[in-house]
C-alpha cells in the first residue's frame, strides 16, 4: 500500500467502506502521495477524509482530486473543497446512460427468465 501511495501518479479508489478502509486516505496518507498526483474516489464516502483532503490540497500538495462519493451527501454548497480549482465532484452514477440502463434491464430480465424456467446460465451484468 505504501509503495502504491508514494509512487503513483493517479490513485483511483474502488473499495467498500469498512472499519479498515474508513479514513484510509487521511492527511498522513495523502501527504505520502506525490505533489503532482491525482486522487480519485469512486468507492464510498468516508474512505477519503474530506477535511484532510482539503487541508492538503489548499497547501498545494496534490495536483488534483475528484470524488463521486462523499461521507455526507449531498455536498453542502459551502464545503471548502468546492473553493479549490483542482477539485471536481461528480454524481455516483458514472454508468448511467440510456444504453447501459437498457443493457442492464435486458440482462436482469433474461436472468429472471433463466431462474424461473431452469434454462440457461445466469449472465453477469458487468461485461
Chain-centre distance for alpha carbon 118: 37
Question: Pick from 4, 58, 67, 66: which is nearest to 27 by CA?
Answer: 58
Asked whether 44 and 17 are in contact (CB, 8 A), the reply is yes
- On the 0-12 / 13-18 / 19+ scale of CB atoms within 10 A, 76 is exposed
Q: Is 71 a catalytic residue?
A: no
- Of residues 44, 55, 61, 121, which has the active-site annotation? 44
Cβ neighbors of 8 (< 8 A, separation 6 or more) are: 33, 34, 37
What is the DSSP secondary structure assignment for residue 34, as one 8-state letter?
A: -
Q: Is 44 a catalytic residue?
A: yes
- Of residues 73, 99, 110, 121, which has the active-site annotation? 73
The helix/strand/coil state of 120 is coil
- Of residues 92, 99, 110, 121, which has the active-site annotation? 92
Q: What amino acid positions are annotated as catalytic residues?
A: 44, 73, 92
Amino acid at each position: 500500500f505504501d509503495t502504491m501511495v508514494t509512487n503513483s501518479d493517479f490513485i483511483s479508489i474502488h473499495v467498500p467502506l469498512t472499519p479498515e478502509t474508513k479514513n484510509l486516505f487521511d492527511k498522513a496518507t495523502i501527504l505520502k502521495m506525490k505533489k503532482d498526483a491525482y486522487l480519485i474516489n469512486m468507492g464510498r464516502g468516508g474512505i477519503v477524509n474530506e477535511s484532510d483532503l482539503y487541508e492538503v490540497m489548499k497547501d498545494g500538495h496534490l495536483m488534483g482530486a475528484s470524488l463521486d462519493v462523499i461521507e455526507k451527501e449531498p455536498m453542502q454548497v459551502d464545503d471548502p473543497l468546492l473553493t479549490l480549482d483542482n477539485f471536481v465532484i461528480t454524481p455516483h452514477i458514472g454508468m448511467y446512460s440510456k444504453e447501459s440502463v437498457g443493457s442492464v434491464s435486458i440482462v436482469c430480465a433474461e436472468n429472471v427468465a433463466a431462474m424461473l424456467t431452469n434454462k440457461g446460465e445466469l449472465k453477469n451484468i458487468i461485461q
